[in-house]
Structure 1
């Protein structure tokens, strides 16, 4: 059974960082099974998991969580206009180097295809690929548009396609905000006035 994650479809680095919710107190990647569910939710986005999600264990979980925690620090500093913490930058570069990649040609019905091959353990391949996604986000000129959801108690980050987007999921956090505003406007109004035609 695949778990539900609050926000997917953002740049991969943001999807990864968004697996810590409620001000970081809830970790949606708390177990290897949860990581397998997240990898399934990211189907088709990771070369390290080209097909069905392989068996993941403690090494893969530790590697992915290490990249996530480093990414969160680097993204937070970049969004705040600050220089990155040197230890976090070193750590991300270490993840990038953990599974060197090379191109590999294959021949098929449609001719040549070129793919990236990382001959390394799954934990290193996942860490390297996710670190590349973080590097892509940190070097993306749209990085300054990454926002934190304005929903009460929501900590999810997103890259808005529209500049007026304020919530990670408008139908969830946006509706909560509208309901709260409605309640605030009407809490002192007598019941009979609220139901007047």
Structure 2
């Protein structure tokens, strides 16, 4: 399973669907994706049910619709905004102060069941991305058939990953040149 991980969390959510794989089809694939998001996302206490995965897929669809509109310079659809805000509201976060190792530690804790808490985290990541002016710079990979999105740190970036699509494009270009010669 080759996935692009390390973009803003909302883009990583959108990138759970590639041309040949949808991580949200099976609980096992989704658990693997969640594990790769360690430190960025509090995983649910147990595996998501099929209904929970369906809810994440629906949220992903709303985030995709909103981001597509923002990238085009349009306001996001009302239905997408309502769904994102509803998911964020379902498990609000509150700060908890703890005292460990002789000093304070602040962490976020969420109310709500596991699926709602996960959806809220993903929705808040979408809110952060969509509210950021950088959302208009999100690009789609230029690799043939690639659906992955990225936020380029450099304006010349064209591929989701130089090791994935970048290498495929370069190899295909090399093959075409040598075949024609």
Interval of TM-score (by shorter of Structure 1 and Structure 2): over 0.9
CA RMSD of aligned residues (A): 1.7
Does 2:17 correspond to 1:20? yes
Contact 1:63 1:124 in 2 (8 A): no
Change (3 A) 1:76 1:110: farther
Partner residue in 1 for 2:116: 124
Alignment deviations for residues 66-87 of structure 1 (CA, whole Å, 9 cap, x no partner): 2211111111111111221111
In the alignment, what sits opposite 2:64? Answer: 72
1:9-62 CA distance string (max 9 Å, x none): 11100000001112xx7422101222211111111111x328xx6333224312
1:135 shift after superposition = 0.5
Q: Which structure 2 segments of 5+ residues have no match?
A: none
1:39 to 19, 34, 39: 34
What TM-score, normalized by structure 1, do the two folds share?
A: 0.85
* TM-aligned CA deviation for residue 120 of structure 1: 0.7
Deviation sequence 1:136-168 (CA, Å, 0-9, x none): 111112112211001011110011122111110
Which has the larger Rg? 1
CA distance in 1, matches of 2:153, 2:137: 9
Could you say which structure has the higher helix fraction? 2
Does the aligned pair in 2 maintain the 1:5–1:38 contact within 8 Å? no
Residue-pair matches, total? 181
Q: State the partner residue of 2:141.
A: 149
**For residue 195 of structure 1, what is the aligned residue in structure 2?**
none
Gaps of 5+ in 1: 190-197
Correspondence 1:90 to 2:82: yes
8 Å CA contact 2:72–2:136 kept in 1: the answer is: no
